[in-house]
Amino acid sequence: MERGEGEILIAALEELQPTVNFASHAFIEAGTVFGPRINPDFQFFHLLSGRAAIVIGGDARTIGPGESALYGPDCPHSITILEEAVFIGIHFQFRHASPVPVHPAFNIHYCGEGTMAESRRYVYKLALGADEKLELPPFMTIAGIEPTLMRIVKEYMNEQPGYAMLLRSLMTELLLLMVRHRLAGRPKSAEQSKIEPALQAIHREPEKNWTVAELAALCGYHAIYFSSLFRKCTGDNPKQYLISQRIRKAKFYLLSGEKMEAIAERLGYTSVHYFSRNFKEETGLTPTEFKQQ
């Protein structure tokens, strides 16, 4: 992690190797207080029911069912249960060589109210590209994360063979849900809005052999200007973006048990050979190899 003035750059998104150190699903009575304390690792706290008052580095919030809090190491915090609650708590590291859990309990330090009052919250960020950083907020509401949280707790508690690696995979899924939630909430740039009709058309009908001229016309621009703008916003030219969307759908169809011939026809390919070639160029695997893995 790189530390700046009040800011911590955790890592690039592609470099994450999370390790779950502890996971619990528990009922807790009203009036219970955790802290003020400082953890040795990150913690994700999610309420399934009840209410809790949370203070993170000077930021205070009362959260309810479906809401979550995220705080990191060296950040004084406290949790006060206001109404009897059921919660899920996960201690983790964003990057660690080993996936094997290391229980944080012996390295949790309690601190005084004065330390809480004087502290400030670090801003945690992930790098999404060469110039883009995404902030992970201390409080969030992400729909649909409970099944992933419950699977993490189940794997941690049962300790079946390979559980540490599966925990790493599930924690990666949870972090990606956070990232996508943040990205979905950001307003689209003016340039992104200009190509939105073309993006929607490709997502809606990836099987259609869209020409650049057709996509440009949907947006009201000349093909040359549209192509330049499209690459700037997506990193791909329109043809490559269309192929990527086709292959994304092809993965789903393959895992659903459909035959390659049917998938190729469904996605607008004139031959299975052409479909297989695109698939391998995009994924590094043939469709058959993808299914086997």
What is the CATH class of 191-292? mainly alpha
Look up the CATH architecture of domain 2-185.
Answer: Sandwich (2.60)
pLDDT per residue as tens, the chain (293 positions): 555 456 788 989 989 999 999 999 999 999 999 989 999 999 999 999 999 999 987 788 999 999 999 999 878 899 999 999 999 999 999 999 999 999 999 899 988 877 777 766 678 899 987 678 899 989 999 988 898 999 999 999 999 999 999 999 999 999 999 998 888 776 667 778 899 899 989 988 888 999 999 999 999 999 999 999 998 888 889 999 899 888 888 887 887 788 889 998 988 888 899 999 998 888 888 888 887 76
The residue type of 22 is F
pLDDT at 26: 93
Q: What is the pLDDT of residues 83-124, one digit of tens each?
A: 999 999 999 999 999 999 999 998 999 888 777 777 666 788
Q: What is the pLDDT of residues 70-82, one digit of tens each?
A: 999 878 899 999 9
What are the residues whose beta carbons fall under 8 Å from the beta carbon of 89, sequence distance 6 or more? 22, 23, 24, 26, 43, 44, 45, 46
Q: Is the omega angle on the peptide bond into residue 36 within 30 degrees of 0, that is, cis?
A: yes
pTM for the predicted model, two decimal places:
0.66
Contact 13, 179 (CB under 8 A): yes
pLDDT at 75: 86
| Angstrom distance (rounded) from CA 38 to CA 41 | 9
Contact 198, 216 (CB under 8 A): yes
pLDDT at 253: 83
Q: Where along the chain do its domains lie? A: 2-185, 191-292
pLDDT at 41: 96
Measured distance between the N- and C-terminal CA atoms of the chain, rounded to whole angstroms: 33
Contact 197, 218 (CB under 8 A): yes
pLDDT at 293: 65
